[in-house]
């Protein structure tokens, strides 16, 4: 209770899901640098899980679940990573395509596919059946590609 109260005092009254907790205006380059790190983290958790799925890493259910939870948690940040004005017009190095802002419904659907499939991955990790987990893992991978195909530069 005390913690919750302290937290709500620290946040500006207007802070909703989409409002940053601090009212600092960050330039587009910094927003890009941050989102790049977030995606690198997402990529690292996927890579770690793919090593487990392929039998190239020790498989422990508790660790599988930790990676799945991390992915699910990070999937909730994606809607906040692409504020207007941080696209290819403003940031030289970004691989984000302008379609993110011209097709917001499509981008939201691609984001939701990642959120739903990573939530299903957590459930599969809790179940502990490697075959089920592998299928759920492939679905998460498809959700990455489903977004990258339409919303990220294709030079990978
Ligand atoms: C809703 C869209 C979306 C989803 C879902 C998504 N990504 Fe991305 N990802 C992007 C965009 C857009 C960029 C480019 C960001 C930039 O350069 O500003 C990106 C960048 C990356 C990068 C940074 C390095 C690079 O290659 O550009 C990695 C790694 C990455 N994504 C991995 C993943 C993985 C793994 C998943 C699935 C678990 C995933 N992404 C899901 C849209 C998405």
Nearest atom of ligand 1 to the alpha carbon of 91: 18
| For ligand 1, mutation pick of 39, 105, 137, 153 (most atoms within 8 Å of CB) | 39
Provide the CB-side half-sphere exposure for 84 (13 A, CA).
Answer: 3
Alpha-carbon torsion 51, 53, 54, 55, what sign?
positive
pLDDT tens-digit series, residues 83-128:
999 999 999 999 999 999 999 999 999 999 999 999 999 999 999 9
Residue 131 belongs to domain with CATH number: 1.20.120.10
Segments forming the whole domain that contains residue 144:
26-151
Count Cβ neighbours within 10 Å for each residue of 58-86 and write b for 16 or more, e otherwise: eeeeeebbebbbbbbebbeebeebbeeeb
Structurally, the chain folds into a number of domains equal to 1
Q: Considering only CA atoms, which residue is closest to atom 22 of ligand 1?
A: 39
Q: Is 116 exposed, middle or buried (0-12, 13-18, 19+ CB in 10 A)?
A: middle
Q: Is the pTM of this model over 0.85?
A: yes
| 117 occurs within a structural domain | yes
């Amino acid at each position: 209770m005390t913690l919750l109260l302290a937290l709500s005092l620290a946040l500006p009254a207007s802070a909703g899901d989409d409002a940053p907790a601090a009212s600092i205006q960050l330039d587009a380059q910094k927003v890009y640098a941050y989102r790049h790190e977030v995606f690198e983290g997402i990529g690292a958790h996927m890579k770690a899980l793919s090593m487990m799925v392929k039998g190239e890493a020790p498989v422990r259910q508790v660790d599988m679940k930790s990676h799945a939870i991390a992915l699910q948690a990070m999937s909730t940040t994606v809607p906040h990573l692409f504020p207007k004005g941080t696209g290819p017009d403003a940031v030289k190095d970004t691989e984000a395509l302008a379609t993110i802002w011209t097709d917001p419904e499509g981008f939201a659907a691609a984001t939701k596919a990642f959120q739903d499939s990573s939530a299903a991955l957590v459930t599969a990790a809790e179940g502990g059946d490697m075959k089920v987990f592998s299928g759920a893992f492939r679905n998460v991978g498809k959700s990455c590609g489903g977004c990258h195909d339409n919303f990220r530069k294709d030079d990978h």
